[in-house]
Structure 1
């Protein structure tokens, strides 16, 4: 399920459920808006929401219930660690935690509701994948066709001191040239709150993990070399390379786990709809909106 579809479905469920609860708890003829002398009642709002997306939202709710029931029957367990891993993946797809939180806020979706939906997705994936058989011949064929992309990328370990302007950057570089401690200066000067407390340590990273100017400089340096100030959209960086990992060629043995998961993901996408339709036939489902 795509990142947008997950949040859209949850948002629609939340809105329709809220209006439905309100319609039951209060008079359906209660006016929720007026345009001149024309009134819009809660009942009209509820009917409009059902007409626009009620059927698809109800289908989604039914599917979630069916999946949860079957997961319980098969004793499928989902841990908080697994849910949080999916959540981190979703954050990455959105471009970070802040972007995901903004999407949730604009849709009126709580994090707890998103986690519940992610749990259902994981349950479904575990059940479908248990029915999929990946042959060794398929894996070898995939490896032969994708050797280059399966190769591990080279990595660099580096620390940096990030400052807002060139003048400060040159001042810090001059202190480093005189032998002052890099980690100490990072804690004193760096505006990168995520790394300054660790002396500017960024750990190991691949070239694509960093902005182009920073990555190009870091990957061109020797271990223990300290750069002149490097300008990026974030300010001026002074980089110290502290380690390097060369890119080994991919072998079938060290790629098997990654290949198997890739093939499982591909087959899951194609087999999930058929699996779900068969699963729904096992349960007594009554959809009163259809009738």
Structure 2
């Protein structure tokens, strides 16, 4: 399947396996157990038996893709690789988490970039074979219309206090023209938002504590609430924006649906395309059983 996560995983497995093998091949003796040696030959055989066929399949497939890219004059720019790298980082929870995984695995960034280049090249080779029809888009929209609808949302900030007395003190400062963001930084016990002036961003119903939500959705823009008690403490809420609920419109989500259908069809078409190439190319393997 042409799945970037699968392609990424296979590339990482291959890189780690090769790195381990090369590291241990520096010395004929790779380990001892009660003085009995485990040799590099033992290790090589174990790696080949467990990963050899899979790793070779990956290398053969990558070679086919690269030759096809050259034949069809398919180019992948540095900007395209950088954009896709951001998606990889997001999948791992952000840039810092991604770098930590890379550091721990010992895989070079250049290996990931090469893997991304092959993935994007494969997409460009296969996409011309896929035709997304208008009726396909309409059908998908009709079946998933509810998921595209805009739920009612509000944007708000809050100051979280441990006790009611402190909450009343802060509220008084706000009524005396105190700056909400500054007071959030000074007083709020919510460490995830206090440095951002208490900003919570947009949210819909069902995402916040019931008492918090009931108050916030009844407020007007720029209105500041009295202290609201939840299990977390006492909140002072300020609503900063609203989005009304709206029914989904096909024109607004057409490109999103097209991309979704394209990704789905790529999964299937990749298998067909690759089987064709395996038939077309002269491939010889020399791994011993």
TM bucket normalised to smaller: 0.7 to 0.9
Match of 2:209?
213
Moved more, 85-94 or 246-255: 85-94
Q: Distance in 1 between matches of 2:46 and 2:144?
A: 50
Change (3 A) 1:216 1:126: farther
Q: Distance in 2 between matches of 1:191 and 1:140?
A: 48
Q: Please give the TM-score of this superposition, normalised by the length of structure 2.
A: 0.78
RMSD (CA atoms): 3.6
Q: Distance in 2 between matches of 1:258 and 1:268?
A: 15
Moved more, 62-71 or 219-228: 219-228
Deviation at 1:94, TM superposition (A): 4.3
- Partner of 1:127: helix, strand, or coil? helix
Match of 1:67?
65
Match of 1:13?
14
Q: Please tell me whether the aligned partners of residues 16 and 105 of structure 2 are also in contact (alpha carbons under 8 angstroms).
A: no
Q: Distance in 2 between matches of 1:252 and 1:207?
A: 22
**Is 2:254 the partner of 1:256?**
yes
Match of 1:178?
176
- Partner of 2:14: helix, strand, or coil? helix
Q: Distance in 1 between matches of 2:88 and 2:36?
A: 43
Deviation at 1:250, TM superposition (A): 1.5
**Aligned runs of 1:278-289 on 2, under 5 Å?**
278-289=276-287
Moved more, 251-260 or 11-20: 11-20
Q: Distance in 2 between matches of 1:236 and 1:290?
A: 70
- Partner of 1:33: helix, strand, or coil? strand
Q: Please tell me whether the aligned partners of residues 169 and 238 of structure 1 are also in contact (alpha carbons under 8 angstroms).
A: no
Q: Please tell me whether the aligned partners of residues 8 and 116 of structure 2 are also in contact (alpha carbons under 8 angstroms).
A: no
- Partner of 1:241: helix, strand, or coil? strand
Deviation at 1:8, TM superposition (A): 3.8
**Aligned runs of 1:16-95 on 2, under 5 Å?**
16-22=17-23, 26=26, 30-95=28-93
**Is 2:117 the partner of 1:141?**
no
Which runs of 5 or more structure 2 residues have no equivalent in the other structure?
Answer: none
User: Could you say which structure has the larger radius of gyration?
Assistant: 2
**Is 2:226 the partner of 1:242?**
no
Greater RCO, 1 or 2 (C-alpha within 8 Å, sep 6+): 2
Q: Please tell me whether the aligned partners of residues 158 and 243 of structure 1 are also in contact (alpha carbons under 8 angstroms).
A: yes
Q: Distance in 1 between matches of 2:204 and 2:78?
A: 31
Moved more, 101-110 or 275-284: 101-110
Which runs of 5 or more structure 1 residues have no equivalent in the other structure?
Answer: none
Q: Please tell me whether the aligned partners of residues 91 and 97 of structure 1 are also in contact (alpha carbons under 8 angstroms).
A: yes
Change (3 A) 1:226 1:180: same
Deviations 1:184-216 (Å, cap 9, x if unpaired)? 22344457788656544454x3438x9532983
Deviation at 1:13, TM superposition (A): 1.4
Q: Please tell me whether the aligned partners of residues 223 and 242 of structure 1 are also in contact (alpha carbons under 8 angstroms).
A: yes
Q: Distance in 2 between matches of 1:184 and 1:44?
A: 65
